[in-house]
Structure 1
Amino acid sequence: MKVRTASLAAAAVALVATTALTGCSSSGSTASGSTGDGSTASGPVTLDFWGWAPGYDQSVALWNKSHPDIQVRFDKTAPGSKGGYTKMLTAVKAGNAPCLAQVGYETLPSFAAAGALQDVTSSAASAKSQFAAWTWNQVSIGGATYGIPVDTAPMALMYRKDLFAKYGITTPPATWDQYAADAAKVHAADPTVYLGDFGNDAYNYAGLAWQAGAPWFGTANQQWQVSLNNAGNQKVASYWQGLLDKKLLKTDPSYDPSLYKDMASGKVLSDVNAVWDAPIIASSVAGTSGKWAVAPMPVWDAADPVYGNDGGSATAVLKGCAHSAQATEFAVWMSTDAASVSNLIKVTGIYPAATSGLTNAALSAADPFYGGQKIYDVFNAETAHINTSWQWGPTMTQTSTDLGDGLGQAETGGATLPSVLGTVQTKTIAQMKQQGLTVSG
């Protein structure tokens, strides 16, 4: 989507002038009202909400039962990276966007730069204290708030207990050195079996970089800094390239049916992924229920464990929403109401951004698929060891596409991960400059 350079430059000034990203419509309304943050309505309001996560529709249904004057219609779209974001931005440009949209933290800066978000600072202010500070920063840019945090996404190792035992892995790998050793051990025992899979998901890879303290973006001296190709990122790339070179990892595309077929048949024994992947695995390989477990993500230094984060979404209010105050009210409720949060934990697999959600009983439930394990105990223990200073850049749609393409090339041997990072950095800087942003790298 093309936007005026002046608008992007203004957005860039706002982005650079703050560390707010540091963490790390027709509006579907049936009644008219003001378009400002303090919007009002003279009668019942219906708000459209676009998103893709499972379980969101169930939280919407809970809201609608108890809020007859503010009804929400949830429309399931393609995931953001698979067309959902393009659809949202196109709708904003056409003036018929929904009031509410599921937008990942990583993409929110791009929406802000495109002028696609509505400032809801006033109506959201009273909710700020209910959320972990770094998650609130994810929805705030240049002093303005554009939505409400839903979740964070600590990463862990989901693995087949029975097959680990079969191949002599008595304890899940606690470090990346041990992970590499176990990968070699498994593959030597059976060349058709792999400890894990190396997919093509750019955001999963971002979680690996996040863990390693290898940032991609930063701001200094009123300009953007791009560091995808720095020493820390090269360290991560070289590690995974080494495993690929030795053919110790399966290379099924991320979240592809081929991956779950290999998991179900015992050809792929584990997955390093975010908390929300736990229910995806459970539903995708249901026939192996009870054989899985969750362990902490392997770390670089056992004496100083640091973990990664792969995702996290906001309920954003899109530009043009005629009832943004009501939209914000719903967004706060969805992220804080006990019944809604319980639903999102069970169905969506979220780790709540709201501090009240961290005591939700659903986090203490035993999970039958994972052998009765209370899997959220693992994610809870990790959260204190996640670096929340990670910062997303303003061109993540382009950056993630280029990186995903490069990861796919690395899978097939068409490129190496260290070289991919250099290519993605060059393209990212070029894209940022094309949008009128001041950048160095």
Structure 2
Amino acid sequence: MGKWFVGAAAGLIVMALISGCATDGEGGPGAGGSEKLEFWGWATGYEKSVALWNATHPDTPVTFRTIPTGAKGGYEKMFSAVKAGNAPCLAQVGFESVPTFLAEGALEDIAPHASDAEGEFSDFAWNQVSYGDQVFGIPVDVGPQALFYRKDVFAKFDLAPPATWAEFTTAAEKLRKADPSYSMTNFSTESYWFGGLVSQAGGQWFRTAGDSWRVGFDSPESKKVADYWQDLVDRELVRTDTPWSPEWLKGLSSGKTATAVGAVWMAGVLTENAKDSASTWAVAPMPQWEKGGTAAGNEGGSTTAVLKGCRNAEEAAEFATWMSTDPKSLANLITVTGIYPAATSGRDLPEANKPVPYFGGQKIYDVFNDAAARTDPRWKWGPVMTQAGATFQDAFGKAVTDGSSFSGTLDRIQDKVVADYRVKGLSIAD
């Protein structure tokens, strides 16, 4: 666990952030002493892990209820249920949203029932659910980043997977000069993608200073990343299609976008949306800022959180730990849900080590296993990240459109996020 986030930080989040927001402890499917647990989420395959649990734990059955994804109303539904006193015990929550749930007073501290599980997970993963001595969920998956690239395009233009970001630029120049209809990659305006790159560069967007938050969207590391991509965008060496748009997907499926800098779950995106490109893709480690470097970023990941008011927190923590560590559950989640496991033991399972036909038989998880081990464990998300993420995407979308400075855009994002924090009553360190 990152050692800088201790003591005062726990008090900062659990007391200052959620003052006046916590429920009275009533409600939830465990109210009244029932052993039955309800679990809200949206990921395909979760229901099968629940069924596996129920088959061997008849005294503490879990009912899985599918709800909209967090960003499409799922989180608001959870917050409303907590405030009404009828929330489920268990909920699927993205790492980036854990601090927001804390700010809403929506999570139960399960440290008495879960602290022994810490050794099952990477430092990075555990750091996303723990604050000082308190624990608010069990990690399920992480999103180590790597470089997906088109082998056929690289062969056609005599390119090699770049080991450094400088080599990435050189390859982009060579590709563009050879055939302007091709681009090396697509610049994303999404905060979580950009945050992974900042983490790889050694930066942090959110830290604590005493009893205050320190926000670092304008940090030197952030601006280093911004300046790098501004150069590529300004020279039209990369595309700027809106992520997830038809144009973005067409660029990947056609090969006109030669690489994708993305997390492990990008493998599933390509498999589902670029079926005609089977066997043309491969995975390489992320380019490094310095030759010989090994740093990696992370984009995504989630936890099974225990919501405020759960009266069976011990049983909820037991199930959540089991779901993330049991070999049969993990085999299901890797195969059906498409996760990359947060539990280090899960990375030794056959399902996480087999050749992947779509990638020409490459054992792509070897690359992600190395990346996961080299993700900076200090990285933390801050509260109100949904709002901050929207601010980031809107600001960078405008910068791409009007050609304004990416570095200056980070300054504006910094000012807006800090102002939003102060409106929420959060203390900001100068």
| 8 A contact 2:10–2:133 mirrored in 1 | no
8 Å contact from structure 1 (residues 28, 48) kept in 2: yes
CA–CA separation in structure 1 for the residues paired with 2:137 and 2:10: 20
Question: Aligned residue for 1:63?
Answer: 53
Deviations 1:78-120 (A, max 9, x none): 3323433223222222323222111122221121121010121
1:254 match: 243
Distance 1:198 1:78 in 2: 28
**CA-to-partner distance for each residue in 1:202-236, whole Å, 9 max, x for gaps?**
10111011101121111123321111102221111
Map 1:2-401; keep pairs closer than 5 Å.
Answer: 12=12, 14=14, 26-28=27-29, 32-33=32-33, 41=34, 45=36, 47-169=37-159, 171-401=160-390
Q: CA RMSD in A?
A: 2.3
Q: Is the Cα contact below 8 Å between 1:154 and 1:275 reproduced in 2?
A: yes
In structure 1, what residue type is equivalent to 2:238?
L
State whether residues 353 and 365 of structure 2, in contact with CA within 8 Å, keep that contact through their aligned partners in structure 1: yes
SS in 1 for 2:153: helix
**Conserved 8 A contact 1:315-1:331:** yes
Quick one: distance in 2 between partners of 1:15 and 1:180? 47
Q: Cα distance 1:11–1:403, how it changes in 2: closer, same or farther (>3 A)?
A: farther
Q: How far apart, CA to CA, are the structure 1 residues paired with 2:28 and 2:383? A: 25
Q: Quick one: which amino acid aligns to residue 32 of structure 1?
A: G
What SS is found at the alignment partner of 1:241? helix
Q: Shift of the alpha carbon at 1:16?
A: 9.1
Residue 328 of structure 2 aligns with an amino acid whose one-letter code is A
The normalised TM-score by structure 2 is 0.90
**Measured at CA, do residues 28 and 167 of structure 1 come closer, stay the same or move farther in structure 2, by a change above 3 Å?**
farther
- Alpha carbons of 1:371 and 1:15: their partners in 2 closer, same or farther (altered >3 Å)? farther
- Partners of 1:336 and 1:295 in 2: how far apart? 27
Q: Is the 8 A contact 1:15 1:141 kept in 2?
A: no
Alignment match, 2:406: 417
The equivalent of 2:22 in structure 1 is none
Deviates more, 1:292-301 or 1:411-420: 411-420
C-alpha distance in 2 between matches for 1:214 and 1:172 = 25
Q: Percent identity?
A: 47
Report the Cα distance in structure 1 between the residues aligned to 2:123 and 2:253, rounded to whole angstroms.
40
Write out per-residue CA displacement over residues 396-423 of structure 1, whole angstroms, 9 at most, x where no aligned residue.
1221111121232233236432122111
Match status 1:439 vs 2:414: no
- Structure 1 residues 15 and 185: alpha-carbon distance in aligned structure 2, compared to 1, 3 A threshold: farther
Normalising by structure 1, we get a TM-score of 0.87
Q: Which amino acid aligns with 2:146?
A: A
Q: C-alpha displacement at 1:126, in angstroms?
A: 3.2
Distance between the aligned counterparts of 1:172 and 1:301, measured in 2?
A: 15
Mean CA deviation greater in 308-317 or 368-377: 308-317
Match of 1:404 among 382, 393, 401: 393
5+ long unaligned stretches in structure 2:
1-8, 18-25
For residues 157-210 of structure 1, what are the alpha-carbon distances to aligned partners after superposition, in whole Å with 9 as ceiling and x for unaligned?
1111111111221x2111111111212222222222211111232101110111
Task: Output the CA distance in 2 between the equivalents of 1:258 and 1:56.
Answer: 31
Conserved 8 A contact 2:110-2:306: yes
Secondary structure class of the residue paired with 2:299: coil
For 1:44-70, what per-residue CA distance to the aligned partner results, in whole angstroms no more than 9, with x for missing partners? 51x322223333233223223333333
Deviation at 1:294, TM superposition (A): 0.6
Letter in 2 for 1:27: G
* Segments ≥4 residues shifted beyond 6 Å: none
**Structure 1 counterpart of 2:89, one-letter code:** C
User: Alpha-carbon deviations, 1:310-354, whole Å to 9, x = none?
Assistant: 122110011122322222121111100101112222233333222
Inter-partner Cα distance in structure 2 for 1:85 and 1:178: 41
- Give the whole-Å Cα distance in 2 for the aligned partners of 1:11 and 1:296: 38
Aligned amino acid, residue 12 of structure 2: A
**C-alpha displacement at 1:273, in angstroms?**
0.6
- Counterpart CA distance in 2 for 1:82 and 1:72 is 24
Q: Which runs of 5+ in 1 are unaligned?
A: 1-8, 18-24, 34-40
User: Across the two proteins, how many residue pairs are aligned to each other?
Assistant: 414
Residues 98 and 206 (structure 1 numbering): CA distance in 2 closer, same or farther, change over 3 Å?
Answer: same
After superposition, the Cα gap between the structure-2 partners of 1:104 and 1:373, relative to the gap in structure 1 and judged at 3 Å, is same
